[in-house]
Amino acid sequence: MTLRVLAAMSGGVDSAVAAARIAEAGHDVTGVHLALSKNPQSYRTGARGCCTVEDSRDARRAADVIGIPFYIWDMAERFHHDVVEDFVSEYAAGRTPNPCLRCNEKIKFEAVLDRALALGFDAVATGHYARVTADGTLSRAVDPVKDQSYVLGVLTREQLGRAMFPLGDTPKAAVREEAARRGLFVADKPDSHDVCFIADGDTRGFLRERLGPAAGPIVDSTGEVIGSHDGAYAYTVGQRKGLGVGRTPDGRPRYVLSIEPVSNTVTVGSREMLEVTEITAERPIWSGLRVPPATPITCGVQLRAHGEAYGCRVVLDGGRIRIALDRSASGVAAGQAAVFYDGDVVLGSATISAAT
């Protein structure tokens, strides 16, 4: 069956090959590049695969080589509200957000998908490394290094039913080789890294510019003040560098244990104090299950992008989830996602609110 497919083209090699594969399969494909900033230079410059004028040109040239129509959609206001402002407010609240995950949830598979369906498209395709199984569930990519199922774990079952990930069964090296064979000049273009909307990679400076200085204490695990900071938003749980408080009395490095936004306090301690075995999460999405689990389930959980999976027991507690890990995890930050797996298949996700 021929489908009308909207291919999101970032200007990088992955999305270009994804669009080419779908077109070659006989589908009616239209390429679209998302303009995410009214002033692209304020977000990122250079060939980074996201958010630049160069990227929009690269995407257009790739569409020309593939032989598909191409458009640019202005998503700047929506991106700023749902991703950039969310990023800033989450840090201000003492949490550590994942902007790539939020962009997938709010932009690519909500705003873009909704518009695509309204225009008569059947599906949206991206260059993410993940797979949608025959029964409509999300699964890991065959390339474990590039697997992006974690940042797609926030998608609903309905969204996954309209999503296409053509690269999920291919290693990244093979994708670059294929791009070169197809004559796509982005074959050797570097992958994008870091936060796409922070031009110089200086997250602390980006937040300070928007939130302003806010001096407060840095305390040890006993509550003793051992230093000061000019903005608790500049810290995240598990951080070791840039604390300016020296080592513990017995010579061990200190790490951020918690951030308390109300009192504007950053608490630090030894690495051992970062270990947690109990996690509380909220806002669950069960894309891999027809209905939410009525009883405790045993599964795996991934706590950060490209992080390891931990065995766990998950219990629903009203609208929240309690996660008991089989072994301790380190540096678990509120605001991050907990994504649940049965082997390679994503069962669902939730947002971490606390860990002990």
Indicate the burial class of 203 (C-beta count within 10 angstroms; 0-12, 13-18, 19 or more).
middle
pLDDT digits (tens, 9 = 90+) for 147-200: 999 999 999 999 999 999 999 999 999 999 999 999 999 999 988 766 888 877
What ranges make up the beta strands (E) of the chain?
4-8, 28-35, 70-74, 123-125, 130-132, 138-140, 163-164, 216-219, 225-229, 255-260, 265-269, 275-285, 297-302, 309-317, 320-330, 337-342, 345-355
157: helix, coil or strand? helix
> What domains can you pick out in the chain, each with its CATH number?
4-188 (3.40.50.620), 213-269 (2.30.30.280), 274-355 (2.40.30.10)
Looking at the whole model, is its pTM more than 0.85? Answer: yes
pLDDT digits (tens, 9 = 90+) for 3-15: 999 999 999 999 9
pLDDT digits (tens, 9 = 90+) for 260-290: 999 999 999 999 999 999 999 999 999 998 7
Classify residue 80 by its DSSP letter.
I
Q: In degrees to the nearest 10, what's the CA dihedral of 147, 145, 46, 206?
A: 80
pLDDT digits (tens, 9 = 90+) for 93-115: 999 999 999 999 999 999 999 99
Residues involved in catalysis: 103, 196
Contacts with 297 (C-beta within 8 Å, 6 or more apart), sequence order: 313, 314, 340, 347
Percentage of the chain with pLDDT > 90?
Answer: 81
**Which residue do the tokens 């029964």 mark?**
135
pLDDT digits (tens, 9 = 90+) for 306-356: 889 999 999 998 889 999 999 999 999 999 999 999 999 999 999 999 999
Mean per-residue pLDDT of the chain: 92
DSSP code per residue over 108-152: IIIIHHHHHHHTT-SEEE---SEEE-TTS-EEE-S-TTT--TGGG
What's the pLDDT at 317? 85
What's the pLDDT at 348? 96
What's the pLDDT at 193? 67
What's the pLDDT at 198? 85
Angle of the 53-66 helix axis to the 13-24 helix axis, nearest 10? 20
Name the phi and psi angles at 107, rounded to 5.
-105, -65
pLDDT digits (tens, 9 = 90+) for 186-226: 999 988 766 888 877 889 999 999 999 999 999 999 999 99
What confidence tier does 48 reach under pLDDT thresholds 50, 70, 90?
Answer: very low
What's the pLDDT at 50? 57
256: helix, coil or strand? strand
Q: Round to whole Å and give the CA distance between 238 and 96.
A: 11
What confidence tier does 232 reach under pLDDT thresholds 50, 70, 90?
Answer: very high
CB atoms within 10 A of CB 59: 27
On whether the CB atoms of residues 95 and 334 are closer than 8 A, the answer is yes
